[in-house]
Chain A
Amino acid sequence: MINTVLVANRGEIACRILRACSEAGLTSIAIYAENDAGSLFTELATVAVPLEGETIAETYLNQQQILAIAAEHGVDAIHPGFGFLSERADFAQAVIDAGINWIGPSPYAIEMMGDKMTARMTMKAAGVPVIPGEEIESEDEAGMISAIVEASERVGYPLLLKASSGGGGKGMRKVEDSANLEEAIKGARREAIAAFGDGRVYVERLLTGSKHVEIQVLGDTHGRTIHLGERECSVQRRHQKVFEEAPCPVMTDGLRARMGEAAVMAAQAVDYVGAGTVEFLLASNGEFFFLEMNTRIQVEHPVTEMVTGVDLVREQLRIAAGQPMSCGDLMMRGHSIEVRLYAEDATNNFLPAIGPLAVFRAPTGPGIRLDTGVREGDMVTPNYDPMLAKLIVWAPSRVEALERMRRALDEFVVLGTTTNIRFLRELCDNRDVVSGRTDTTLIDRFWPNGWAPTYSDLSLDAALMVAAVSESAGLHRTQVSKTESSNGPISPFQTLNRRYP
C-alpha cells in the first residue's frame, strides 16, 4: 500500500508525477529549492516543502535532507523522476533502508546498468547483441593503452572510446585511425578520472548513420516483464534528444518482436522492476546493438503512452505498491511525436537562454498534449536545465502527426525568452524527417554551420507593423500595470466572512 508519495525532482517531470499522484488519489509531497518557490510543480502537490541550501548538491541532491523530510511527513514512497538522484543506487538503498518504497528498480539493477562495461558484459551473457567491441580489464595507463591497441585490431576503425562510468559525452573519443589512438586513450582516461573519479575506458566500433531506437520495458513484482514497443530518438543536438517518435518509421513487426525480446532479456538479466528503457543502435541493415539501459522513467515516455494507451507513471506507482501492472498485451495505434521545448538559441549553437516568459500560450485542439513545468509569467533562470516543456502530438498516421505538429508549433507563442520553437518547426519540414530517414547525424548534416530561421519579408513587415502599433497604442504600459497590480495594495478580501442563514 502506498498513501503518500514524495517527488524528489522539479520542473516538468515533477508536474507529470504529481498529477499522476493526484489522479491516483495519493497524498503528494513536493520539495523545492528557494529559487523554485512559486514554480508550477509546487502548486500541484498536496504539501510543498522548502529545501534548505542553495546549490543543487545542497538541495535536490541532498539525500539526508530529502529523507528527513520524508520521515517528517510520513512518506511511504519516493519517486525520483529523471536526472538528479534517479540513477543513484546508494540513494535507492538509503530509501529502502528507511522503510520507504523506492519507485524504481533495485539498487542492484541500477548498479549493474550504471557501469557501462558491466552492463555490456551482463548483456552479452544474457544473449543480447552488443556493439562490436571489447571490455578492457587494465586500469593503469600503460596496461590500458596496450590492451586497447591490441583490441583495436579486432574491433576496426573508426572506433569509439567510452568511459565505463560515462555519460553526457564525457570520457568519450572518436578515433578515425591508429595514429591518433594512444593520444585519444590518454585524453579519454584523463577526462573520465576528472568527471567520474573512474578512469576505466573500453572500446567499441563507431557505427555511423545508425538510428537511436529504444524499447520501453515494464516489470512488476509478480514475475511479469513486458515491452511496450519502441521510440526513435535519433534527432539529437549536443548528444541531447530533441525530436522523438513512436513507432520508429522503419520498424517492422518482426524487428520489433526481436528487439522487444532482447530488451525483455536485458531487463530480466537484472531482475528489473518498474519502468525502464533499453537503448539500441539500429544499423541501416537492420542489425541492432545494445547501447545502454536507463533505469528510470524517461523524458520521452509520453510518445509510448500516446500509442499504447498505457499510463507509465501510474504503472510505476502500482508496481511500487506491489500490485501487478494493469496493462495487457501490446497494442500500438497511430503515431506520436514529441519535441522538447528548450530555452536556447538555435541560431547560436543552442546556447541556453534566460528571461521572462512574458507570453506563454500553448497550442490546443485534438491530439495535442503539453507536459510543461512552466507557465506565463515565470522566469527562466540559469539555475537548472533549460528544458521548459514537451509538446506531444498523436494522429492516426505519421504524415498526419507531422502535419499536426507543424500546426501546433505555429500556434505556440512564447515571448520574452528565446526558445527553439522555430527550429523544431523547420525540423518538421526537413526532408529526412519527412521521409523518416532520421539518424543521429541529422542536425550536423543539414546545418553544419548552424541554423538560421527562414521567413518572408512579408512576415517581417507585418511584425514591424505590430511592434509599431504596440508601441503607439502603449501596450507595454498596460503590460506594466498588470505586473504592478500583482504586487499592489493588499486585497480587501483578506478576511473571510461567512454568514449562515
Chain B
Amino acid sequence: MMHEFKVNSEMVEVTVAKDGQDWLLGDYKAQVLDDGRIMVQSRDGRSKIAHSAKVGDVWWVHIDGHIFCIEKTEAGSADGDSDGGMTAPMPGKILEVKVANGQSVTAGELLLVMEAMKMEHRIVAPSDGVITMVNFSTGDQVQQGDILVEMGE
C-alpha cells in the first residue's frame, strides 16, 4: 500500500507490502501487536516497539525515544480548506451545523462550519452516506481531533 506523508515540511511516499502478519519495507519488517503497538524489526534481528496515534490527519509516532509528527496527505487530493476529514483540524468553535442525525448526504456536501484561529473551516462529507451522529451544536468549543460528525453507509 502506498501512502503520501508530509514530515518536516517534506513530502514522502511510503509503500509497505503485506506478507502474512508481517509488513515489509526495505530492511524493515513490522507487526501490529494485539494492543495496537507496532514491533519494528531490522534485518539484523534488533526489534523495537513503536507507539502511534492519529490526531486529525497527523500520525504521532514514538520510536527510539523520538517523537515524529507525520501528516497523511491524500494522494491527488486538492489542498484547500474544504477537504477536511470529519475531525476538528484544530481547537475552535462550531459556527453552523448543516445536517441532522439520519440525514442522507452526498460526497462534498457541507456538513458543518467551524472557526479556528480566526479562520473558517468547512467540514464536508468525504463520500455519500447517512449521518449517524452529530456530536456538537452551534457555539460549542471543540478540541483538535474531536470527531465532529459520524457517518455510515
Contact = CB atoms under 8 A, between A and B. Distances in A.
B66 A422 contact: yes
A461 B52 CA distance: 14
Nearest to B49: A413
A470 B63 contact: no
B53 A415 contact: yes
A480 B144 CA distance: 14
Nearest to B52: A470
Contacts of A465: 14, 16, 23, 25, 28, 30, 40
A358 B55 contact: yes
B51 A361 contact: yes
Given A413-B51, A466-B50, A469-B32, A358 B145 contact: yes
A379 B141 CA distance: 13
Interface residues of B, number: 43
Interface stretch (A69-77, A150-158, A246-254, A471-479): A471-479
B38 A470 contact: yes
Interface string A80-94: 000000000000000
A468 B54 contact: no
Contact of B65 (A356, A415, A422, A472): A422
Chain B contact residues: over half helix, strand or loop, or mixed? strand
Contact of B66 (A416, A459, A467, A469): A459
A231 to B, nearest CB: 26
B64 interface: yes
B66 A468 contact: no
A453 B66 contact: yes
Interface string B1-37: 1010101000010111010000101101010100010
A interface, over-half SS: helix
A410 interface: yes
A142 interface: no
B111 interface: no
Contacts of A464: 5, 7, 12, 14, 68, 70
Interface string B130-147: 000000000000011101
B128 to A, nearest CB: 19
Interface string A410-429: 11011110000110010000
B65 A425 contact: yes
Given A467-B52, A472-B3, A476-B54, A462 B64 contact: yes
Nearest to A465: B25
A463 B5 CA distance: 11
A483 interface: yes
B65 A462 contact: no
What size tier do the contact residues of chain A reach? 35 or more
A355 B5 contact: no
Among B16, B53, B61, B150, the one with the most A-chain Cβ atoms within 10 Å of its Cβ is B53
Contacts of A416: 53, 55, 60, 145
A102 to B, nearest CB: 37
A472 B18 contact: yes
A359 interface: yes
Contacts of B64: 410, 455, 459, 462
B123 to A, nearest CB: 16
Given A464-B5, A469-B32, A415 B52 contact: yes
A354 interface: yes
A204 to B, nearest CB: 41
B147 A483 contact: yes
A479 B63 contact: no
Nearest to B146: A356
A465 B51 CA distance: 12
A409 interface: yes
5 contacts: A409-B65, A455-B64, A467-B5, A467-B14, A471-B59
4 tightest A-B CB contacts, nearest first:
A410-B65, A415-B60, A358-B53, A476-B54
Given A413-B62, A453-B66, A463-B61, 16 more contacts: A356-B144, A359-B62, A379-B143, A415-B61, A422-B67, A455-B66, A460-B7, A462-B40, A462-B50, A463-B70, A464-B70, A466-B50, A472-B1, A475-B32, A479-B54, A483-B147
